């Protein structure tokens, strides 16, 4: 297993134009717990309606997928394709950055599963996700 450091994870995030545009930054990671936390700033391009400061669900879903994926990537040291993911939106994200924590639930030979929680900056739970990734080499 080739665990990635926080700096290595950030370098990989920044090497993708799409992910770099999202502004994701690694806040913390814990290999033993299989947990990673990232922050995503609000951008006008992510607004549901111009000037609303409310996040559109699409960028939130993309961030959930990305952070869930990187929970496994930090453990395996390589990119993984998404097999499936789901999102439950619990409350609107308005005028806040997103604080997103993913926890690896399964790191198997063929698939890995991450659970992802999305919070606002005050700590309120906004959305939850579960994602499956192909871990087959």
| pLDDT string in tens for the chain (137-residue length) | 589 999 999 999 999 999 999 999 999 999 999 999 999 999 999 999 999 999 999 999 999 999 999 999 999 999 999 999 999 999 999 999 999 999 999 999 999 999 999 999 999 999 999 999 999 98
> What domains are defined for the chain?
6-134 (3.10.129.10)
pTM for the model stands at 0.96
Instruction: Tally helices (H) and strands (E) across the chain.
Output: 3, 6
Segment (H or E) for 70: helix 57-76
Q: How far apart are CA 73 and CA 118, in angstroms?
A: 19
Neighbouring CB atoms inside 10 A of 127's CB total 23
Q: How far apart are CA 68 and CA 113, in angstroms?
A: 8
Q: Which two tokens stand for residue 91?
A: 């409350």
């Amino acid at each position: 297993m080739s665990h990635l450091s926080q700096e290595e994870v950030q370098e990989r995030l920044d090497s993708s134009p799409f992910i770099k545009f999202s502004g994701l930054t690694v806040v913390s990671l814990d290999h033993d717990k299989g947990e990673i936390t990232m922050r995503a700033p609000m951008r006008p391009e992510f607004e549901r309606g111009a000037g609303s400061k409310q996040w559109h669900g699409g960028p939130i879903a993309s961030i959930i997928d990305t952070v869930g994926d990187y929970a496994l990537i930090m453990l395996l040291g390589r990119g993984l394709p998404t097999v499936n993911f789901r999102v439950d939106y619990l409350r609107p994200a308005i005028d806040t950055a997103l604080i997103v924590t993913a926890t690896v639930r399964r790191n198997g030979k063929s698939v890995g599963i991450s659970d992802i929680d999305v919070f606002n900056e005050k700590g309120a739970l906004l959305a939850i996700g579960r994602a499956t990734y192909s871990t087959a080499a």
